[in-house]
Structure 1
Amino acid sequence: MDTIRSLRCFVRAVELGSLSAVAREEGTTQPTVSKLMAALERELGVRLLERSTTSLRPTPQGSQFYQRALGMLAQYHEAVAEARGQTETPRGLVRINAPAAFGQFRLNALLADFMAVHPQVEIELILDDRLVDLVRDGVDIAVRQGTGLPPDAVARAAGVSPRHLVAAPSYLERRGRPQQQQDLATHDYIRFAWLADGDALTLYREQQAVSVVTHGRFRVNHALAIRDSLVAGGGIGMCPLWLVQDLLDTGALVRVLAPWEGAPQPLHLLSPTRRYQPVRARLLLDFLVARIAALPGFGLKGEA
């Protein structure tokens, strides 16, 4: 019996809740994975998985063995990495999850640079604004903006982007420039759909904070669409600088109500809490931490 493969399949069966899903990951068939699990159970003399027509879950003994199996796999992979030393060539697949706009606008180019340096590494980039389960979905690295990070993941700070009110000069020429915060209520305000605070907006200046109620007829769930709408003169919006720094530099957008600004937007890179992380994932994580902080509108301390 291939013990390491059996342990890996068992761990993923517990995490995914499906032998078919494990088979897809392994590039094999469901009957093959089922035979591996049956052989592992015979070897141990213990039932590890409860199977039904609709679900799969570990038995009490299986849950306990799962924790041990994680440690055994970690030690095995660490031993392999140590034996190979620094001569190991990064190869294989890295799965990344990222917010749609950031992935499309900024991350694509960074990943292309990484793959150019590491030709044997494959990357699967899933653009999704929802917070995925890293273990269940087999994600090696997740890019997350904002706060409220999951407790069951390791988070590395990659940068902070200030958030400013911006508008196109054409819009301000047509509608006038707001002189104080409450003037925003009379302007077309473009915002992200489904915000928890709705039309409420809090602005900050040093130690001061002011809440205002905005008004707008256009809400959208994609940051790049907000960017395009602002450039087209559709209204005023609060944007992180990573999204609009280039437009501010060219004058296509200008800042409104400076020095008031929104709460800065932190960005973290999440990885599973397992002790072992493949060399390819560790290298990409370090690469992204360094490169994201150097992007326009980013910095570890939130520099503009």
Structure 2
Amino acid sequence: MDTIRSLRCFMRAVELGSLSAVAREEGSTQPTISKLMAALERELGVRLLERSTTSLQATPQGMRFYQRALGVLAEYQEAVAEARGQTETPAGLIRVNAPAAFGQFRLNALLAPFLAAYPKVDIELILDDRMVDLVKEGVDVAIRQGHELPPDAIARMAGISPRQLVASPAYLKAHGTPRRPQDLARHDYIRFAWLADGDTLTLHNGERTETIQTHGRYRVNNALAIRDSLAAGGGIGLCPMWLVQDLLDSGALVRVLRKWHGQTQPLHLLSPSRRYQPVRVRLLLDYLTEQIGRLPGYNAS
């Protein structure tokens, strides 16, 4: 029996909850993976998985074995990496997940120099605004903006972006410039479509906080579309500076209520807490941490 392969397949079966999903990852068939699991259980003399027609989960003994096997497989992979010289020559695939707007607008350009520096490394970039399960979806590095993070991932802060109110000069000329936060209620306010607070906007000025009920006829679930709409004179919006700093520098947008700001938007790099981290992944994490902090609109962490 190929013990290492059986061990890896067992761990992925626990993580994915499906032998068919493991088979797809392995380029194999469900019956083959099922036989591997049965052989592993026979060798150990313990039932590791409870199977039914609709679900698969680890038995209590299987879950304990899974927790111990994590360290065993990590040590094996580390040994293989050293034997192959991979600690000096990064190689292999890195799966990266990032929010759509940030990935398209900023991250995409950062990855090209990394690929050029490490010709044996491949990157698969998936742009997705949802909070993915890193382990189940095989993600090595996930980029997430905001303060809510999954509890079971290792998070490294790469930068913090202030959030400021902005509008185009043309909009302000046509509709007037707000002088105090309450004035925003009379303006067209452009916001992200799925905000938990809806039209409620909270602004800060030192120790002072103001809550305003905004109004706007345009809501959109993409930050780049918000950026374009603000530049076109569609209204006022609260934006992280990474999204609009270049437009502020060019004069296409201007700050509104400069003494007031929203909650800052941190950016974290996430990696699975329960998976061996190859050198190629560690190098990418270090690279992105350094480069993101240098982007326009970010303060280094």
- Under a length normalisation based on structure 2, what TM-score does the superposition of the two structures give? 0.96
Tell me the secondary structure at the aligned position of residue 299 of structure 2. coil
Residue in 1 that maps onto 2:243: 243
State whether residues 92 and 120 of structure 1, in contact with CA within 8 Å, keep that contact through their aligned partners in structure 2.
Answer: yes
Q: What is the deviation of 1:269?
A: 0.6
Residue in 2 that maps onto 1:97: 97
Residue in 2 that maps onto 1:172: 172
In 1, distance between residues paired with 2:86 and 2:272? Answer: 23
1:199 aligns with 2:199: yes
Tell me the secondary structure at the aligned position of residue 210 of structure 2. strand
Residue in 1 that maps onto 2:282: 282
In 2, distance between residues paired with 1:31 and 1:102? Answer: 41
**Mean Cα deviation higher: 67-76 or 157-166:** 67-76
Counting only pairs closer than 5 Å after superposition, residues 20-35 of structure 1 correspond to structure 2 as 20-35=20-35
Q: What is the deviation of 1:127?
A: 1.4
Residue in 1 that maps onto 2:59: 59
Write the deviation string for residues 266-291 of structure 1: whole angstroms up to 9, x where unpaired: 01011111262011111111111111
1:78 aligns with 2:86: no
Residue in 1 that maps onto 2:120: 120
Residue in 2 that maps onto 1:45: 45
**Mean Cα deviation higher: 9-18 or 107-116:** 107-116
Read off the aligned partner of 2:62 and give its amino acid letter.
G
In 2, distance between residues paired with 1:32 and 1:275? Answer: 24
Identity of aligned residues (%): 75
In 1, distance between residues paired with 2:30 and 2:112? Answer: 34
Tell me the secondary structure at the aligned position of residue 177 of structure 2. coil
In 1, distance between residues paired with 2:84 and 2:207? Answer: 53
In 2, distance between residues paired with 1:81 and 1:93? Answer: 14
Write the deviation string for residues 43-66 of structure 1: whole angstroms up to 9, x where unpaired: 112221122222111122211111
Q: What is the deviation of 1:108?
A: 0.8
In 1, distance between residues paired with 2:87 and 2:242? Answer: 37
Write the deviation string for residues 64-114 of structure 1: whole angstroms up to 9, x where unpaired: 111111111011122333445675321111111111111111111112221
**Mean Cα deviation higher: 81-90 or 130-139:** 81-90
**Mean Cα deviation higher: 224-233 or 58-67:** 58-67
In 2, distance between residues paired with 1:145 and 1:87? Answer: 30
- Structure 2: 5+ residue runs without aligned partners? none
**Mean Cα deviation higher: 228-237 or 208-217:** 208-217
Residue in 2 that maps onto 1:11: 11
Read off the aligned partner of 1:239 and give its amino acid letter.
C
In 2, distance between residues paired with 1:247 and 1:287? Answer: 26
In 2, distance between residues paired with 1:99 and 1:158? Answer: 15
Tell me the secondary structure at the aligned position of residue 262 of structure 1. coil
In 2, distance between residues paired with 1:211 and 1:188? Answer: 17
In 2, distance between residues paired with 1:106 and 1:28? Answer: 37
In 2, distance between residues paired with 1:275 and 1:214? Answer: 45
- Structure 1: 5+ residue runs without aligned partners? none
Write the deviation string for residues 247-284 of structure 1: whole angstroms up to 9, x where unpaired: 11111111111021111100101111126201111111
Q: CA RMSD in A?
A: 1.5
Give the number of aligned pairs: 301
